Structures are given as structure tokens and as C-alpha cells.
Chains A and B, each alone.
Chain A
Amino acid sequence: DADVTQTPRNRITKTGKRIMLECSQTKGHDRMYWYRQDPGLGLRLIYYSFDVKDINKGEISDGYSVSRQAQAKFSLSLESAIPNQTALYFCATSDPGLHEQYFGPGTRLTVT
């Protein structure tokens, strides 16, 4: 089984709809991250959490919110989706003191 899973893997939604992307991990890591990737751009950090009680904004948090329900679960919500939020979204985890981040398979989101 994959260490970091994301659901759904693909989603098409309409402008104005609320949508939630979910991330679960079995690696036992405290740190979790949400990134978005657009064609020709690198990954940009949306939100990150270093433990269940810790939530921090990344460089592009406007229009997004997150919830850290447990050590293993970190959800990303788009309160009112807009077309320029069409992108590939990745969840990642890491262990304190280590430099490697482990990425989930991604969610391809299309907002029409």
C-alpha cells in the first residue's frame, strides 16, 4: 500500500462549488504539506502543518483552507472554486530533522 494517498485522483467541478481534497499517510510523520503545480511552474506551497495543532499559510493560501484532523490526515478545501484553481495538487509529508519530503500521487482538479 502507498505511504501517502490522496483522494480523489481526478475531479471536475464547477465554478463556485466547494470541494475538499483529502490526504492520508501511514509514514507516521508529523509534518504535512499541500502544494499545487501548474504547467511550466514548480510546486508552490499552499499550507503546511507541523503537528495536529499547527497550521501555517504557504505562499499561495488565498482561496484555500485546510484541516488537520489527525496526525495521519490533512485535508485541503476550496471554499468557492474558480477556474484558475485548475491544477495538479500534491500532498507531502516529512519527518522532523530529515530533508526528504514524500509526495502523494496527486489530484488533478479541473474547475469549469
Chain B
Amino acid sequence: GQSLEQPSEVTAVEGAIVQINCTYQTSGFYGLSWYQQHDGGAPTFLSYNGLDGLEETGRFSSFLSRSDSYGYLLLQELQMKDSASYFCAVFATNDYKLSFGAGTTVTVRA
């Protein structure tokens, strides 16, 4: 089976940088994705890492270390609209089934 761990909550001020860590234990590993979900809304895709290293998309970056079974999502220049839940999710095989972590609630304060 798959097991993913991420912090449950993070609070930061506007303009700050937040890093959300995700560690995983899977029977196989193909890639790591990140999704954002505003309260009660549809999850939306943020990033995917299939190889080790950093992927940057605007203010958000995602990192993967396959040897450490670890990844993180970096949110820079935090804005109030970044207040949401963030989920890491793994593809354990190449069949495009996702297993999700429990999510990290990010609260941005003025």
C-alpha cells in the first residue's frame, strides 16, 4: 500500500515563504504531484515531479528526492488567496492512479 505524510497545518504572513514537506512509503514509485484545494472546492493541479530536482512554476516550486522518498512544495511571496489545503499525491505505478496525503492547511495572515 501507499503511505504519505505531510504536516496538518501551517500558518504564515503575507509575503512569507512556506515549505510543505511530504514523505512517502510506496510499493512502487513513479512520480509525485501536488494539488491545491480551496475550502470545499475542486482540487486543482499544481505540479508534477517524475525526476529528482526542482520544478518551478511562478511563485510555486516543487522538489523531489527519490532516494529519500521525500518531496516538498514551496510557496513564495504568499498572498491571501494562497490560503487553502495542499495535497501531495503519488503515482505508485505508471497507471496514473493517485494516492493522496491527508493535506496541509495553509493559513495566510495579513
A106 partner, pick from B1, B42, B89, B102, beta carbons under 8 A: B42
* Cβ–Cβ < 8 Å partners of B103 in chain A: 41-42
Q: Is the CB of B42 within 8 A of A90?
A: yes
Q: Knowing A103-B43, A103-B44, A105-B42, say if A45 contacts B33 (CB, 8 Å).
A: no
Q: Knowing A90-B43, A105-B41, say if A99 contacts B100 (CB, 8 Å).
A: no
Chain B window 29-70, contacts with chain A (Cβ cutoff 8 Å), 1 for yes, 0 for no: 001010000001111110010100000000000000000000
B91 at the interface (CB under 8 A from A): yes
Q: Which residues of A38-75 have CB atoms within 8 Å of chain B's CB atoms? A: 40-45, 48, 50, 58-59
Minimum Cβ distance to chain A for residue B31 (Å): 6
Q: Is the CB of B87 within 8 A of A43?
A: yes
A100 at the interface (CB under 8 A from B): yes
* Cβ–Cβ < 8 Å partners of A88 in chain B: 40
A-B residue pair count with CB separations less than 8 angstroms? 57
* Cβ–Cβ < 8 Å partners of B81 in chain A: none
- Size category of the A interface is 20 to 34
Cα(A59)–Cα(B95), bound, Å? 15
Chain B window 98-110, contacts with chain A (Cβ cutoff 8 Å), 1 for yes, 0 for no: 1111110000000
B42 partner, pick from A31, A40, A104, beta carbons under 8 A: A104
Q: Is the CB of A45 within 8 A of B97?
A: yes
Q: Is the CB of A45 within 8 A of B42?
A: no
Q: Knowing A99-B48, A103-B44, say if A40 contacts B102 (CB, 8 Å).
A: yes
Q: Knowing A90-B43, A105-B41, say if A31 contacts B96 (CB, 8 Å).
A: yes
* Cβ–Cβ < 8 Å partners of A50 in chain B: 95
A86 at the interface (CB under 8 A from B): no
Q: Which residues of A78-112 have CB atoms within 8 Å of chain B's CB atoms? A: 88, 90, 94, 96, 99-106, 108
Cα(A31)–Cα(B95), bound, Å? 10
* Cβ–Cβ < 8 Å partners of B97 in chain A: 33, 45, 48, 58
* Cβ–Cβ < 8 Å partners of B43 in chain A: 43, 90, 101, 103
